Structure 1
Amino acid sequence: MKKIVHLSIILFFLSISSFAQNQKQFFQYVNPFIGTGGHGHTFPGATMPYGACQLSPDTRLEGWDGCSAYHYSDSIIYGFSHTHLSGTGCSDYGDILLMPTNKMMDLDHYQYASTFSHLSENAHAGYYQVFLEQPQVQVELTATLHGGIHKYSYQNQSPQFVVLNLNHRDAVIDSRINQKNHFTINGFRFSKAWATNQKLFYEIQFSKPIKKISYLYPKDKNDDSPSKSKSLYCLIEFEHQKNTNFNPKIKSNELVVKCAISGVDELGAQKNLSTEMTTWDFDFYKKKCEQTWNQELGKIKILDKETQLTEDKWVTFYTALYHCMIHPSIYSDVDGRYRGRDDKIHNTQQKFDYYTVFSLWDTYRALHPLLTILDPKRTNDFINTFIRQYQEGGRLPIWELSSNETNCMIGYHVVSVIWDAYEKGIRDYNIELAFEAMKSIASQRSDYEGEGLNQKLKESAKAKVADAEALNSYCKYGYVRSDDSHESVSKTLEYAYNDWCIAQMAKALGKENDYLYYIERSSHWVNIFDSSTGFMRAKKNGSLYFPFSPYTVDNNYTEANAWQYSFYVPHDINGLIMTLNGRQNLEKKLDDLFQAKEQTEGRTQADITGLIGQYAHGNEPSHHIAYLYNYTLNKSKTTLYTNKIFNEFYTNNPDGLIGNEDCGQMSAWYVFNALGLYPTCPGNHLLDIAEPQFNHLKINDSIDIIKKDNPSLHDKYFSTTQNKSQLSFDAFHSKQPIILVANNHLENLKELTTNPHEIKTIPYLENASQTFKDSLLVEIKSLSNSPIFYSINNESQQKYQHPIQIIESTTLHFFAENTADKIQEARFTKLPSDRKIILKNQYNPSYHGGGADGLIDGINGKLNWRAGDWQGYQGQDVEIVMEFAEPKSIKKTRS
């Protein structure tokens, strides 16, 4: 028998000397190079916690592993830009590129780029340094909240130049460089990439006077005149003098550069600079940035004694915590102004900070729940930001970037973040408006008639049309049909969880009708559960989707397969157990997942990494799965697998992340598991318990987490225990000591049940082909015993008693008595029997279109090529042979 790992979570207020036994400060344990190799997509440069500016080197111009503009395998630096994304799977940012050089040169084709060595590269939280080999310049970088500080140390007597490139990486819509005076330039860059209309303004001050500005394009501009273009570079030459007008401590071979950015206008950039950058002392900004990081990282203190054996673990932990504090990023200026989703300028009136970069499909799972503990005020600001985006843009964010909605990923997980915060007492915002916005995004309509609803909202409207196809299917049929939308299984499951969040908010606000409506929708997940295989499966034309393998990655799932999505019912774990016929079967299903072969089938998906069997830690849908063992009779397996993931998939190396960082989610999993906790169901007040990875941690200087198998600490403080394996969030506000000992429990399952009543399911067709030639026998089945009724071609309804014989093209409607509002529809097409098609090529299995007859069945594919009935071929010519029973005259051909 495996030994059950015991755990104590001890919460009390006790004065402990802060970190005295350790020599290093928290920021010194951060290794920003973790995640810059492999597929982590992080960047190593300097930023403030949640800062608007991420000042970092750019080594890569394109490609999936160039999303952050830096990859550890590269050896050339193109320059240092002021905005970067941490761990995303899509590329953007890289704004306002500066690069020091020592001579006049052609600016085209990055001829000023330089080689570098990792041996001369160093970084920690708030600081980055590298030596550029071609110009022989040492570069140091640090950051303020809205800008970056550069320090360039040239060789003695070397000419001093700086390249400014506004045409870097993204497609430029418009840009401008304007010399304000001998020390200052400003301007803007409007660009199009993932964010289709990003607007960024800048102001740059130099510690030495500008001698000359040479533009690459347009030509023949006076040195002091504005230059405006879609493709704009310039080379700035400086007066070479011993001292500057600003700081006599700056050596003659040194150049200090201040660059502030704003999403509002040039005045905003100027205010940000004048407010935050009041001195020319580089070390002042470096120390301030380090101290700010020290304060934020110190919200979780490791109180173990550090040893040589544990140093890597400390570095990995504090780097993970660091990665949790990069995004979301502040987007409002120092005066409270910000650019809204309507492309207009608004002001928070200093009531809250406005943020951007909301990777909500990723971060609702662990990052946002973590920040409700570590930073409730900032979490409250996030929700105020969401509400403003609803007011000014007509919709809550899906994946928002610089006030642009990218519409990336599925679901409407912003409702999870709002409900989770509300449930935890974070409520300093317009609660009624927040709830209105939650309902609006769940219906893909805007009930808000604000004055900001203008041209910019047409982009949002287009996205709503695509989302509405899936949501309409979900509401009409009780699940998303694969006929109607791609990734139908994932959408059904995630919509159901999102609806549970809205239902809980409605219940808390006393809105009974809304509660009943959304709690019923939250049970729709059961309508795609296949009892014969135990997997969540797509349905097409009322029937289970074929062909099927749980290993297949295809358009029915979001970056995953049936193995990885069949455990996604976080809000109704008890319901999942019931459909699997008991806890033992849940445990077996989990065992099968972790012990399955590691190869996937179907589409190659770069995101599916970090495999243990078919558990894929490199992508978010798997992140909660190991904790489902807490709901079986063998909870020790939770600790078995969480320890394995913790120790094998996170390391102190450039490739130390097993997948994309995803704006803090990958690292938030690590931080929570270091604490021995995880929010299996965000929005539920219970956190699941595993085993803390340190003997003693302290949260917010008030909450101690201590391993139960550390008797010296346990006996020192407590003498009582409570047998639990979940921790209530209320404990984080309690002054009473609590010890929770992990055990085999099920006492909290009722609290995770979607409905207090029986879950109702819809009927479905058993393996019914959509086309036939002679006749077709259609069988209707259901997981419940409710009577089933049907009609053929809109004729009178009949009670279903035996399989239905179809001999002509037919539209079939059917429903169960207890779900009569969810009338199912299936269409069957009779094909002519005098023709046959022979395919000389093999179609892509993900786009089979109904097999060979799909090309002649008269069923058209949808405009959404990932849904419906498309047949796809790639990298080959297509050759087909048509055979007819009798000769035919060809009247027309077209393609």
Structure 2
Amino acid sequence: MANAAERGPKFAHDPTTLVDTSIGNNGDGTTFPGAAAPFGMVQLSPDTQLNKYASYDYAQDTILGFSHTHLSGVGCQTMGNFRFMPTTGAVTSSDPARYAAKFSHDNETRAPGYYGVKFDNGIRAELSATRRTGQHRYTYPAGSGSQNVLIETGESNGSTYAGDIKVVGDDTVEGWLQGGNFCGETGKERYRIFFSATFDRKFSRFGTWSDDTLTPNQREASRGTKRAGAWLTFDSAKGDQVGTSVGLSYTSVDGARLNRKAEQPKSFDKARGSAHDAWKDELNRMRVAGGTTADQRTYYSALYHSLLHPSIGSDVDNRYRGFDDKVHRADSTYYQMFSLWDTYRSQNQLVALLNPDETADMAKSVLHVYQDGGWLPRWGLGNGETNVMSGDPVTPWIVDIYNRGLLDKRTSRQLFDALWKNANEVPSDQSLFRGRDGNPTYLENGWVGYQNLPGYTYGDSRQAGSATLEYALADCALSTMADGLGHRGKASTLAARCDNFAKLWDPGVTSQGFSGFPVTKNADGSVAGDPDPTQAGAFHEGTAWQYQWLAQQDPKTLFGLMGGRARAEQRLDKFFDMPTVLTDPAKAASESWVTGAYDYHNNFAFNPNNEPDFHTPWMYAWTGAPWKTSATLRAMRTLFTDDAYGMPGNDDLGATSSLLVFAMAGVFEAQPGAADYLVTAPMFEKVEIRPEHGRKISVEAPGARASKLQYVSSVHTGKGELRQSWLSHKDLLRSGTIKIKLSAKPSKWGVGSAPPAMGARN
């Protein structure tokens, strides 16, 4: 007789078959469809356009080539380095608009770790990847004449400032470029990246170009004002396929060559198989059963997108280029590409749950950034800081890792010292690291004084309203780490800042029938700008209506400012249009909420497309109505579909995808840094979590459906009945089987048992 775990819906034998890497390949999601290994240095993907997003727009029908670095879901152009393109016939131009090829999505094949496309001209290109190499296989049509591979090093999706290429012997090409602009900047040379490519056939002819000048038989070229590259021609009489293995490195060409040789698979098919197996293992760390095929495709595609970044930055010998532009050697894998303002609210928690070893190495990598560069990153691109976004996102992320018990004592103490410095000082040279530039007024008054600094698009003093709220959350989280490390005085100092969000509260501001909202203040305490909470102001990518909830470290105090718990719940109901959520969830999501990926401002409704609001559905846990969280998440689910246009906002290195993964699985950490999970109604009948080296956690919710409004009526774990609405990270890991009973009507489960305020944990 089958046991309970064997009855009911079955887990997919191979969850990679349920992933569609095209989801979000448009101007909203800005993901890419190409090949990558989990957290790999290489993201080998087709480029349909330059200077926009992840280089690939699903609406386009022309491919310019295949470049080796991409960032998933960033809302602006960057990376896209070392573009390879197969062509036939004479090589007459270095302009990608001239040698680009038409294609149809019907002729694409996409899977985790693999991308294939047959161009309209008959050439078939296939891509795969190891952690530090890109693998290409090109099949040319019979009778095509010359078989060429064009390699561009001087032009990227993000601006390139220098680059060299060298043809070595008759089967190798190597080179480097200097890049690093971000979101339309100019003159930001943040990183240098190198490649070494070897081909499985000898080329019969070659040449190089600089800008528009092509020189046959020349082995070296340097970037002029826009391009530098090489072309290789193969004898069609010797076969119809050409393969190449391309190693990358941020240290040197020698490092790229070392990475290529160390990770070189025996064949392209072996590379594809290994990449598939790596992704199968990753996706099985949090597998689901039940629901519709569309539910599973949407879920597993989101889980896939959640595990692409941060990216490996070190060579196989652990050498890496630090933020001082010098090469160092770490004692573990070094990671980079930290989009922390986005990821500290969802994606970092998912990676920490499923991949604790890699997470510890990521934390150590941030420590290396501090040791090499003198300050902690906010948005690190390669080995440089962009200073993009606002607040202090690195702090709750590191505290989260510490509170999960993933850091050794020495690393914990070193990271705390770095975080303490970041929370209390300002870099002297803010051209490299801006740090918390609002600290002078924040430490004196408890709020960041508004200042429109010339020459800076970003900066905490410019986004003073939201920066104050972000600082308060970060300081409150850090107080728990200080307490755990025995720094009682520092813990007290930091805990006193937990409620600094209250210092922005203006009870005289009214909107939509509610009184009291956060406002931006000048250093002297006067209100800066228009206090209307529905208008764009000094709140980063949002309004005061959307940012008012960013005080989840102490909901009781926040709700007191709003007039009490009941009045706060009414405000949440207005925010989500709860009456419509309960009658037509899809209508509420599509008509009442903010719908455009970049429509941050001039609205009082929930914005599920951008990170500041991510935690807001779970705020009902503190009003005494956790069932409304489950209803809101069912509405949010309707915004995600299993096609190229299926992501409502920028994925931001997996942040939006991770939100969906947690929402569908039924757990989420609403207080970054706390290492606690709120429990909601899962959207699958079974969720199985298998953390790296950990015990299996089984979540069983018979009858769960994403398409139905369902609520938690009871929860039982291996430890007995769970009456509170949350589990600590340690309790989740020890819970064994979690049985969740669902009902079609709201229940009183979890009422009055939300997690404590973070500042109260010291």
Q: TM-score, normalised by structure 1?
A: 0.75
Tell me how far 1:154 sits from its aligned partner: 0.5
SS in 2 for 1:616: coil
Aligned residue pairs: how many?
Answer: 705
Q: Does the 8 Å contact 1:573/1:749 carry over to 2?
A: no
2:391 is the alignment partner of 1:411: yes
2:168 is the alignment partner of 1:180: yes
Aligned to 1:113: 100
Q: Does the 8 Å contact 1:575/1:754 carry over to 2?
A: no
Q: Which amino acid aligns with 2:442?
A: Y
Q: Does the 8 Å contact 2:385/2:432 carry over to 1?
A: no
Deviations, residues 220-272 of structure 1 (Å, cap 9, x unaligned): 86736433334312221113343xxxxxxxxx111111111110101111111
Match of 2:235 among 215, 233, 239: 239
Tell me how far 1:584 sits from its aligned partner: 0.2
Deviations, residues 722-755 of structure 1 (Å, cap 9, x unaligned): 3221122122331565557773546545721535
SS in 2 for 1:552: coil
Residues 557/696 of structure 1: CA separation in 2 closer, same or farther (3 Å cut) = same
Aligned to 2:382: 402
Deviations, residues 752-808 of structure 1 (Å, cap 9, x unaligned): 153599xxxxxxxxxxxxxxxxxxxxxxxxxxxxxxxxxxxxxxxxxxxxxxxxxxx
Aligned to 2:84: 98
Taking the aligned partners of 1:107 and 1:17, their CA distance within structure 2 comes to 61
Q: Does the 8 Å contact 2:25/2:645 carry over to 1?
A: yes
* Worse-matched range after superposition: 125-134 or 105-114: 105-114
Deviations, residues 815-841 of structure 1 (Å, cap 9, x unaligned): xxxxxxxxxxxxxxxxxxxxxxxxxxx
* Worse-matched range after superposition: 334-343 or 589-598: 589-598
Taking the aligned partners of 1:593 and 1:236, their CA distance within structure 2 comes to 59
Q: Which amino acid aligns with 2:113?
A: G
Tell me how far 1:635 sits from its aligned partner: 2.5
Aligned to 1:849: none
Deviations, residues 270-295 of structure 1 (Å, cap 9, x unaligned): 1111111142x211111110011001
2:572 is the alignment partner of 1:572: no
Tell me how far 1:335 sits from its aligned partner: 1.1
Residues 381/570 of structure 1: CA separation in 2 closer, same or farther (3 Å cut) = same
Tell me how far 1:23 sits from its aligned partner: 6.1
2:216 is the alignment partner of 1:229: no
SS in 2 for 1:86: coil
Q: Does the 8 Å contact 2:339/2:380 carry over to 1?
A: yes
SS in 2 for 1:506: helix
Taking the aligned partners of 2:620 and 2:484, their CA distance within structure 1 comes to 30
Consecutive unaligned residues of structure 2, counting only runs of 5 or more, are 183-187, 453-460, 509-514, 579-587, 705-710, 742-746
2:43 is the alignment partner of 1:61: no
Residues 634/461 of structure 1: CA separation in 2 closer, same or farther (3 Å cut) = closer
Deviations, residues 578-633 of structure 1 (Å, cap 9, x unaligned): 22232101101111212399999xx9995237999610011001111111111113
2:270 is the alignment partner of 1:284: yes
Aligned to 1:704: 698
Deviations, residues 435-473 of structure 1 (Å, cap 9, x unaligned): 110011112447xxxxxxxxxxx9x63255x55541111
Match of 1:521 among 478, 497, 509: 497
Taking the aligned partners of 1:538 and 1:174, their CA distance within structure 2 comes to 42
Taking the aligned partners of 2:74 and 2:42, their CA distance within structure 1 comes to 16
Q: Does the 8 Å contact 2:476/2:758 carry over to 1?
A: no
Q: Does the 8 Å contact 1:559/1:605 carry over to 2?
A: no
Taking the aligned partners of 1:191 and 1:702, their CA distance within structure 2 comes to 43
Taking the aligned partners of 2:612 and 2:576, their CA distance within structure 1 comes to 14
Tell me how far 1:162 sits from its aligned partner: 0.9
Q: Which amino acid aligns with 1:565?
A: Y
* Worse-matched range after superposition: 222-231 or 78-87: 222-231
2:25 is the alignment partner of 1:39: no
Residues 591-630 of structure 1: pairs in structure 2 closer than 5 A: 591-595=573-577, 607-608=598-599, 614-630=605-621
Taking the aligned partners of 1:113 and 1:437, their CA distance within structure 2 comes to 48
Match of 1:549 among 532, 540, 553: 532
SS in 2 for 1:80: strand
Residues 577-726 of structure 1: pairs in structure 2 closer than 5 A: 577-595=559-577, 607-608=598-599, 614-646=605-637, 648-700=638-690, 702-707=696-701, 721-726=721-726
Q: Does the 8 Å contact 1:46/1:141 carry over to 2?
A: yes
Q: Does the 8 Å contact 2:207/2:218 carry over to 1?
A: no
Q: Does the 8 Å contact 2:426/2:435 carry over to 1?
A: no
Aligned to 2:744: none
SS in 1 for 2:430: helix
Residues 175/192 of structure 1: CA separation in 2 closer, same or farther (3 Å cut) = same
Tell me how far 1:314 sits from its aligned partner: 0.7
2:125 is the alignment partner of 1:128: no
Q: Does the 8 Å contact 1:608/1:619 carry over to 2?
A: no
Q: Does the 8 Å contact 1:419/1:501 carry over to 2?
A: yes
Taking the aligned partners of 2:501 and 2:313, their CA distance within structure 1 comes to 37
Q: TM-score, normalised by structure 2?
A: 0.87
Deviations, residues 857-885 of structure 1 (Å, cap 9, x unaligned): xxxxxxxxxxxxxxxxxxxxxxxxxxxxx
2:505 is the alignment partner of 1:500: no
Q: Which amino acid aligns with 1:431?
A: S
Identity %: 29
2:290 is the alignment partner of 1:296: no
Residues 10-21 of structure 1: pairs in structure 2 closer than 5 A: 21=10
Q: Which amino acid aligns with 1:311?
A: T
Q: Does the 8 Å contact 1:341/1:393 carry over to 2?
A: yes
- How much is the aligned-residue C-alpha RMSD, in angstroms? 3.0
Residues 567/224 of structure 1: CA separation in 2 closer, same or farther (3 Å cut) = same
SS in 2 for 1:210: coil
Q: Does the 8 Å contact 2:716/2:738 carry over to 1?
A: no
Residues 720/604 of structure 1: CA separation in 2 closer, same or farther (3 Å cut) = closer
Aligned to 2:413: 432
SS in 1 for 2:673: coil
Q: Does the 8 Å contact 2:308/2:653 carry over to 1?
A: yes
Q: Which amino acid aligns with 1:663?
A: L
SS in 2 for 1:662: coil
Q: Which amino acid aligns with 2:203?
A: I
Taking the aligned partners of 1:622 and 1:278, their CA distance within structure 2 comes to 44
Aligned to 1:462: 431
Residues 49/610 of structure 1: CA separation in 2 closer, same or farther (3 Å cut) = farther
Q: Which amino acid aligns with 1:439?
A: W
Taking the aligned partners of 1:462 and 1:235, their CA distance within structure 2 comes to 39
Q: Does the 8 Å contact 1:86/1:661 carry over to 2?
A: yes
Tell me how far 1:721 sits from its aligned partner: 2.5
Deviations, residues 312-352 of structure 1 (Å, cap 9, x unaligned): 1111111100001101000101111111111100111xx31
Taking the aligned partners of 2:165 and 2:364, their CA distance within structure 1 comes to 34
* Worse-matched range after superposition: 615-624 or 161-170: 161-170
Aligned to 2:462: 486
Q: Does the 8 Å contact 1:539/1:545 carry over to 2?
A: yes
SS in 2 for 1:321: helix
Residues 145/623 of structure 1: CA separation in 2 closer, same or farther (3 Å cut) = same
Residues 438/155 of structure 1: CA separation in 2 closer, same or farther (3 Å cut) = same
Taking the aligned partners of 1:651 and 1:611, their CA distance within structure 2 comes to 27
Residues 749/472 of structure 1: CA separation in 2 closer, same or farther (3 Å cut) = farther
Tell me how far 1:497 sits from its aligned partner: 0.5
